[in-house]
Structure 1
Amino acid sequence: MEEQKPIQNDTTSPVPTEEVTSTTPVVEITKRSLRVQTWRKIQQNSAGVVSNGIFNRIPDFIDNDKAAALLAETAEFKKANKIKVNIDRALDAVKLQVLAAGKELYLPGTRESNALYLKVECPAEATEEERKEIIHVQDIQKSRTEILLENKIKFDLVVIGSCLVSRDGYRIGRGNGFADLDIGLLIEIGSITPETVIATFVHDLQVVDNLPTNLFQKYDTPVDLIVTPTEVIRVAKPLPRPPGLFWEILSERRLKIIPVLQVLKENEEKAGKIITLKEENTDVESSANKRYQRRRRPYRPRQRRSETQSERPRRKRQSGARRPRSSKKSEASVTEDNNKEDAPQKQNKRGQQQPGKRPQKRRPNKPTSSKDRFCVKVTNIPKYIRVKDIKTELRKREINPLYITWKGQLGKCYLHFPKLEVSTELDEDVSSVLKSLSDLSITAGEQNETCVLTTELMKFDAKAEQARQDEAVLESHSSQRIESVDTTTV
């Protein structure tokens, strides 16, 4: 590792000191402004890991292995047995230290599961490379054990990331509120007790002496322990923690994002507790960057020129326009023109021939042979269902078609599967696919509606293949927009 430059740490104030004049505009101090200042400070001092990014996230920083080593030497870490670490990549060094010390490592649950948290299963004899692979596994079925709400445990140590933290325990996260919500949930169910230590893992540039207390709300999580690459800071007077969840500031959208919240709400209501949620869905994820959302433009058919327009004479050249070239041609140009006339012709967009270019074969978007696949037709698809919803449901059922022909505007799609031959009798592969798709249903849309889809096996021969192609041509002309072929991997 290259030798790092010494870092000048300004811990006197969270806001950089600048020369103030009578014309200096007054900038309101908010959590967002403090985050941006911290991200810029890390960037200017080259203290962040560029591959992971800095802005709009918990920043990963250099020398995080030194900070993890300091954390492993603390009495709080040595005493702890069950340790929960947030999923941020900046905390990977902490996860490796927990596994190396032989302690139980827990991670937050996923959005596709009702698990409260996930226990990481790592063999005691695993090497460092194997531990790195285990903590980066995305599939919860590998090296993970789901801990449901009824099997909750008590944590000794909880490590969370931060964008900015003060020495008196105030913490500012990345801004989406998931860390505070997770802490409130763990306090609500009793997984975090007054004896549980809440620690954060940051760079020295992310630590300040104090923060404006008026920025913090009742649900903000304070910390008890701050670990940097150079020091361990213990908060002298721990701040009060939130008592649990505040249902009145949560909306239905947030409960859909975190399924275990919906399970807890149902259990509380069965026990007789009255829970009222926020009516408006204002707690939208900040990670949804609208810049990269694809905008769908309405299809407008190309207007052909009428006969009167095509017969209309061209306008005469205005005065001062460029003069036409001389009609005299050299022998070389005449020879070149003759060669162009002898060359094969190519049609342009209007069907006219263009001289001097060879016709190119149109590249098909999908296999034209019907002997190398079988196809399942899915119908009864509502307009609010997208192809990604179909793919998600197919992954859950472990069905992997070769590609999907999507005709959602017409309420159907085709699932193409690789196969050597399709006979009149259904073999095991076809039967297993049809059995898995027999009760195909999808829940999606703003109203969270559930629709049951219909599946049908399509058998191809020469006549059926031609009929299918003719049907696709007719549908493309009659539909309101151009139908696309989705050939992405499911």
Structure 2
Amino acid sequence: MKTDWSGYHQDKDYLRSEIWSLLKQQAASIGNPFGHIPNFVGADLAAERLATLPIWQQAKTIKCNPDSAQIPVRMRALQDGKRLYMAVPRLTDDRCFVELTAEDLQRQNISIAESAIARKALACGKLVSFAEMEPIDLVIVGCVAVTRNGGRTGKGAGFADLELAMLEEFGLIKTDTPIVTTVHPLQIVEDSRLPMQAHDWALNWIVTAEEVIETNTIYPRPKGLNWDNIRPEQLEQIPILRKLRARLDNEFLC
């Protein structure tokens, strides 16, 4: 099946279509999975399991993707008193993260359950620039397919990799900041099925409703933004990328 982001990597396109079809056939998705980070049966249990891990319990500040599959993760982060950063969908704002805390929500008389839904988070959270953000202790990303050695792919748009590269560029994540996902077991594939590229960020942990997988990944972590890998339409559609590019060009000219 073709999506807005098909055509960049044929093997990954094929794998995504296979996973979306499988989730639908097995009635393991909530809603239509095609073209999305799929919401899945057991997402709430996976979030509960994630919350038992030391990497979660020690984290004060968490970055999470805005997809429905991770609503239970965002909800749990706020319930546990963590500062939550959620990416603005498609990074369409200069201030491309929303900051949420339980205290702010309480002041606004907004429930944590409501604010965990992305569109409500955008309405009630505080838009922040990279300069206004606190260092991040734990990153949660949405995935379509993953491998036990840390390989991952999203829906093909490249937003997660861009977000992580920019956060690294601004010193908000470090080389040892754990990167985690919650998925359905059907989304886990053989290592050989998922080719990783130089700009792809690997997973350190995979959590399902049934198990926790520490990947001990050996994939090297990218170092900030690789401008050679940024596609023209990404530069056109993502304001913060254009600003960073202009700043870099000015530094070069100086």
* SS in structure 1 of the partner of residue 78 of structure 2: helix
Change beyond 3 A, Cα 1:78–1:203? same
Name the structure 2 match of 1:390. Answer: none
1:154 maps to amino acid: P
1:147 maps to amino acid: V
Change beyond 3 A, Cα 1:273–1:42? farther
User: Partners in 2 of 1:141 and 1:237 — Cα distance?
Assistant: 33
Name the structure 2 match of 1:250. Answer: 230
Name the structure 2 match of 1:320. Answer: none
Name the structure 1 match of 2:164. Answer: 183
> Are 1:103 and 2:82 an aligned pair?
yes
Change beyond 3 A, Cα 1:108–1:190? same
Could you list the per-position Cα deviations for residues 436-483 of structure 1 after superposition, in whole angstroms to 9, with x for gaps in the alignment?
xxxxxxxxxxxxxxxxxxxxxxxxxxxxxxxxxxxxxxxxxxxxxxxx
Cα offset, 1:62, TM superposition: 0.7
Name the structure 2 match of 1:261. Answer: 241
User: Partners in 1 of 2:132 and 2:244 — Cα distance?
Assistant: 13
Match of 1:43 among 24, 46, 71: 24
Higher RCO structure (Cα 8 Å, ≥6 apart): 2
> Are 1:93 and 2:72 an aligned pair?
yes
Could you list the per-position Cα deviations for residues 83-113 of structure 1 after superposition, in whole angstroms to 9, with x for gaps in the alignment?
0000111110100010110000101135552
Give runs of aligned pairs for residues 377-416 of structure 1, distance below 5 A: none
Of Structure 1 and Structure 2, the greater helix share is in 2
Cα offset, 1:238, TM superposition: 3.9
Cα offset, 1:144, TM superposition: 1.5
Cα offset, 1:33, TM superposition: 1.3
Could you list the per-position Cα deviations for residues 142-170 of structure 1 after superposition, in whole angstroms to 9, with x for gaps in the alignment?
42222223334321101001111110111
Contact 1:168 1:209 in 2 (8 A): no
Q: TM-score scaled to structure 1, two decimals?
A: 0.46
* SS in structure 2 of the partner of residue 271 of structure 1: helix
Change beyond 3 A, Cα 1:100–1:141? closer
Q: TM-score scaled to structure 2, two decimals?
A: 0.86
Change beyond 3 A, Cα 1:36–1:147? same
* SS in structure 2 of the partner of residue 263 of structure 1: helix
User: Partners in 2 of 1:144 and 1:181 — Cα distance?
Assistant: 22
2:150 maps to amino acid: G
User: Partners in 2 of 1:140 and 1:203 — Cα distance?
Assistant: 25
Give runs of aligned pairs for residues 263-278 of structure 1, distance below 5 A: 263-272=243-252
User: Partners in 2 of 1:220 and 1:57 — Cα distance?
Assistant: 18
Bigger radius of gyration among the two: 1
* SS in structure 2 of the partner of residue 236 of structure 1: coil
2:126 maps to amino acid: T
Give runs of aligned pairs for residues 410-429 of structure 1, distance below 5 A: none
Name the structure 2 match of 1:61. Answer: 40
* SS in structure 1 of the partner of residue 103 of structure 2: coil
Cα offset, 1:125, TM superposition: 8.5
Change beyond 3 A, Cα 1:164–1:273? farther
Change beyond 3 A, Cα 1:273–1:55? farther
Name the structure 2 match of 1:164. Answer: 145
> Are 1:173 and 2:178 an aligned pair?
no
Contact 1:199 1:224 in 2 (8 A): yes
Contact 1:156 1:195 in 2 (8 A): no
User: Partners in 2 of 1:146 and 1:44 — Cα distance?
Assistant: 39
- Which stretch shifts more, 153-162 or 202-211? 202-211
User: Partners in 1 of 2:199 and 2:243 — Cα distance?
Assistant: 21
* SS in structure 1 of the partner of residue 35 of structure 2: coil
Give runs of aligned pairs for residues 268-307 of structure 1, distance below 5 A: 268-272=248-252
Aligned Cα RMSD in Å?
Answer: 2.3
Change beyond 3 A, Cα 1:33–1:154? same
In structure 1, runs of 5+ residues without a counterpart are 1-28, 275-490
Name the structure 2 match of 1:219. Answer: 199
User: Partners in 2 of 1:40 and 1:142 — Cα distance?
Assistant: 33
* SS in structure 2 of the partner of residue 67 of structure 1: helix
Change beyond 3 A, Cα 1:237–1:149? closer
Identity %: 31
Contact 1:121 1:145 in 2 (8 A): no
1:221 maps to amino acid: W
In structure 2, runs of 5+ residues without a counterpart are 1-9
User: Partners in 1 of 2:93 and 2:104 — Cα distance?
Assistant: 27
Contact 1:85 1:159 in 2 (8 A): yes
User: Partners in 2 of 1:211 and 1:100 — Cα distance?
Assistant: 38
User: Partners in 1 of 2:121 and 2:217 — Cα distance?
Assistant: 39
Give runs of aligned pairs for residues 291-440 of structure 1, distance below 5 A: none
- The alignment of Structure 1 onto Structure 2 pairs a total of residues equal to 241
